[in-house]
Structure 1
Amino acid sequence: MAVTTTLKSKTLAIEVQTDTDKAGDPIYGKKSFSGVKLTATDQGVYNVAEAIKSVLDVNTRDTYLNEVETVSNV
């Protein structure tokens, strides 16, 4: 039997600066955007993330694409 995976959801997350610590270093949290189309390409998701970053009023850092898949033994 072969094991297969099925993509169930994608979520975009962008690290945004939420505060600074006592030393003045930035503290980051994640802002998530669910409902990313399963057919969205990595380049397309990246382009959207960069567009979102450009309109945010806070500093940003990394961008994440979280994918959830089911695993089954068929």
Structure 2
Amino acid sequence: MAVTKTLETSSLQIEIASGKDSSGNTTYRKKTFSNVRTDAASQNIYDVATAIKDMLNVGTRNFYVADSSTLVSA
């Protein structure tokens, strides 16, 4: 049985500093930006993430792209 994977949605996530833990280490939370074009080039997504990071007044760590796909048996 063949299965087809179809990319449905993408979102950009940026880890944003949210405070300190009991050991003094920085803690992070993810801020999600939905409705990223599923055909967007990785470089373009990175450029947008960098522009957002530069506008924020807090530290950031990593950028992520979260994809959601459907699986359909053919």
**Structure 1 length-normalised TM:** 0.93
Percent identity of equivalent pairs: 42
**In 1, Cα distance between the equivalents of 2:4 and 2:26?**
41
2:23 partner SS:
coil
Divergent runs of 4+, >2 A: none
Greater displacement, 26-35 / 16-25: 16-25
Match in the other structure for 2:47: 47
Match in the other structure for 1:68: 68
Structure 2 spans left out of the alignment, 5+ residues: none
Residue 39 of structure 1: how far off its partner (Å): 1.5
Greater displacement, 19-28 / 63-72: 19-28
**In 2, Cα distance between the equivalents of 1:22 and 1:68?**
35
Total equivalences in the alignment: 74
**1:1-74 superposed matches below 5 A:** 1-74=1-74
Q: Output the aligned Cα RMSD.
A: 0.9
2:50 partner SS:
helix
**In 2, Cα distance between the equivalents of 1:44 and 1:73?**
32
**Structure 2 length-normalised TM:** 0.93
